[in-house]
Amino acid sequence: MNLPVASLARPASAAETMTPSGRVRHFYKAYGLVIGSEVALPELEPTAPAAPDLEIAVGPVDFPDDASQGATAFRFEPRRQYLSWQAVGTFMISGAMRIDVDPAPGIDDPLLAFPLLGPVMALALHQRGLLVLHASAIAVGGESVIFLGNKGAGKSTMAGAMIRAGHRLLTDDVVALDLSDPDRPMILPGFPQLKLAADAAGAIRLEQADVRPQVHPQIDKALHRLRDGFAAEAVPASRIYVLERGGRAAISPLAGAIALPAIIKFSYITRFGRQALPGDFAAAHLRQCAQIAGRIGVGRLEVPAGLDRIDEAVAAIETDLASGTR
C-alpha cells in the first residue's frame, strides 16, 4: 500500500504534523474548513496546523452487514455514512467531523483523492447543513454564477472559459452553499482545480494552470491546478444556469415551478436516492432547494455547439449579470 508514511529523516513542514502512529498529518483549507488529513491532498490549499473542523484518517473501516462485497456499495445512517468502491477503498463519514479511509490494496493517495474530494466530501458537507450541488461555480467581481447540467453538458468547460476571460474559480464539481443567512446565500470556495476533457483543455488553453499527471487510465479528464484565478473567499450566489446545447448563446429565465426541480435534480445528495435522506433530512433538503430557487435567479443557458464559440456564452453571462435583473 503506497500511503504517506513518515520518515525519521523527514521533518514535518509548516502545514504538517506527525500523528502518534507515525503518519504525516497534512493541514488544508477548503469550503471554509480547516482539514487535517492523513491522505495527501495537494489539490487543496495548505494551511497552518490548527484544530481541524474535519479530520481525515487512514485505517480499517468495517462496512455494516458485509454489504461491501460488490463493486460499489453505500449505506446511510443518521450519524454515519458508508461509501465503498471495491477498486479504490471504503470511506466512513462520522457526524460531519471525521472521514475514515480504508484503501484497497495497492491504492495510493492520488487515486483515493478522486472519491474523497468528490462524493465523500459532498456528503460530509451535506451533513454539516450545507446545500451541495453537483456543479461548477465562478466568481464574477462581487457576484457569482453556478453551472448545472447533465453529465457532459460542459459545466467545467464553461467554468474554464470564464476563467480564461478573467473571472475566478470558486469550485468545480462540488458546490457548497451556506444558507445560514436566508437573504444572502454564500458559495464557499473549494480549491483551485478544474477537471477538463482533452478537447476542452486544448480549446481553452488555461495558461495559469498546471496539468497534473493522470492517476488512472480510465479517468478521462485531466486535473488542471490553477496558479492564478481562484477566489479564496466566499461570494454571494447571484445566478444559476442550467446548461443546454443550442444554436446560439442565449439565456432565458426558468419559472419557479421548473427551477425547483432542476435544483433538486442536480443537488449532490439525490444521486444516492431516497436512502441518503433518512428521517428529517428529506424535508430539510427540500426547504433548502426551495430557498435557493426562490432567492437566486435561475435560467437556461444555451451554449452554441463547438468549442470555438464558447466565448459567446461567456459574453451572454456577463451581459446578464450586468443587467442586474433576476
**Domain membership flag for residue 279:** yes
Residues 289 and 156 in one domain: yes
Show which of 95, 127, 159 is a domain's final residue: 127
**Domain membership flag for residue 6:** no
Q: Which residues pair with 120 in a beta bridge?
A: none
**Domain membership flag for residue 261:** yes
| Per-residue 3-state assignment (H helix, E strand, C coil) for 77-130 | CCCEEEEEECCCEEEEEECCCEEEEEECCCCCHHHHHHHHHHHHHHHHHHHCCC
Show which of 127, 153, 188 is a domain's final residue: 127
Residues 206 and 244 in one domain: yes
Sequential pLDDT tens for the chain (326 residues): 333 333 333 334 557 887 776 789 999 999 999 999 999 999 999 999 999 999 999 999 988 765 545 688 999 988 899 999 999 999 999 988 999 999 999 999 999 999 999 999 999 999 999 999 999 999 999 999 999 999 889 999 999 999 999 999 999 999 999 999 988 999 999 999 999 999 999 999 999 999 987 777 777 789 999 999 999 999 999 999 999 998 999 999 998 788 999 999 999 999 998 889 887 889 999 999 999 999 998 999 999 988 999 999 999 999 999 987 65
CA atoms within 13 A on the CB side of 77: 11
Residues 151 and 275 in one domain: yes
Residues 165 and 248 in one domain: yes
Question: Cβ neighbours of residue 31 under 8 Å, at least 6 residues apart?
Answer: 121, 125, 130, 171, 176, 188, 189, 190
Predicted TM-score (pTM) of this structure: 0.91
Burial of 212-231, coded b for 16+ CB within 10 Å and e otherwise, reads: eeeeeeeeeebbbbbeebbb
Domains identified in the chain, total number: 2
For residue 82, give its domain range: 16-127
Show which of 127, 155, 179 is a domain's final residue: 127
Residue 227 and residue 168: Cα distance in Å, rounded?
Answer: 11
**Domain membership flag for residue 255:** yes
Residues 147 and 200 in one domain: yes
